[in-house]
Chains A and B, each alone.
Chain A
């Protein structure tokens, strides 16, 4: 899909050089999954070390999921909800979970995903920042030697982040709608969707964000003199580790699971005035795109 690579160029991302791959042998199973879907983008869900909460969040779009599967997305891979065994070529690969460095099959899956996908989207904090798996020390049945878990950006380039534990259905919905508008929308819609996606692509390329925790909010917002005590971080924290003391955030770092929600949601991490001035029409656009036929 030439559009996607031109978008990545336009967004400042490096175009992935696709190595010449011989087409996979067509088994009966692979042929049956193949359908003619010219208008939809090929999306798959690759499951590494995650709790399945992210893909459950995707299904929590409820009726919207039917709209997505009918009109926007051809679901080509996803061991949880689609019966395909081999990772196919994809336009967008949603990767859930951190990668276990002792699991060679998993590393191979991640490598294959990167090589065969136009866009790799880290969905959920395990894939984006390592999340709670950062605290794993191994020792569990039945693979006690599985002890080091890294965000996927440690091994492959990631194009878009959808952080938080678990990611919200609304953020996944907005990402899908924006990705679709980028591909199929009018010129104005393409420009809008590009602006919307840019910060999420920037997060994926920001080294400090790949290791995000409350400390990131502290170092990049509070210590930089940018915090104005709005309380967004406290509302964002999935483990209620942040309280507001005399109008400023205080993080209980023993509770922090390194999900990066507070930094990503903070209005002083990134904020696009031009985009936000259009908040009303953006919300109408998203609701319109998700409205049932």
Chain B
């Protein structure tokens, strides 16, 4: 019997839909421990593919006979080999055809809000914990923090019957390659980012600091660019219709953005302090915070999206209540020792437009999780 293939999309809907699948990840243990497919109810196990080259009963004792096993590896080849071995032994088995490579470019859109004024969609790139947003009003759309696989946004806009007018990055990203500029080129939309993020760049962009408000659609969709420095000096958040705060990498559901990727941890931590206790302080507790990243699958809430009210975040994160400037700075700058996003220095340069890479190289640089969301519990 030929083994079945499973796509990243199918795998995700099985994980989410209560139709269980058991994941057998056959990459090396260090790769598995660093970065794997996760889900709240998901069972997964790691046995490297070369273990299956030996006839050894111990390989099989943890594999279920009554549940479909999805075999996953880096690019698909080793998973196919293991899937064939399991298939011969009578297991119900499928394999992810292009492995973690495919998982890393799988995007899942979730509608967060539908009102007369607008529709707000969160696009979750699960493998990286990267979130981007599409706000649609009267047939026009704005996209915030798009990732590199721009077809995802083009297709989504087409399904929504919307024309992409505005594209923005909340800041110069260090964990993923932005799709902003390319998407702007393809659609003719305006690409916005803070100019302090783009020094030395040749990329055409509209400086965000020149726009206090960006309006589009017949209905009044108000988008305020709020300077929220800290993660980077030019970080902004967008307050959409006074209700949704697209907070970039400054405030997460589980904590605050790390200020250390520019090598000035203490200085940027001071800016982050001002962001939390001055800029954001005035926003009401029921403001819905929608960040650009999450660090843990548990941050996906019951609505299927990553987000929490400012009130909830203030309550659950001590750092949001640490009003002592010194103490705050110590704590936040102290996260500087945590693992940095893989290849972040090169990714920053690509996003600034000072380095160009091929699609293959981009894939290689982006592999792995984001590490911009550091928990402050």
Q: Please say whether chains A and B are actual partners in one complex.
A: no
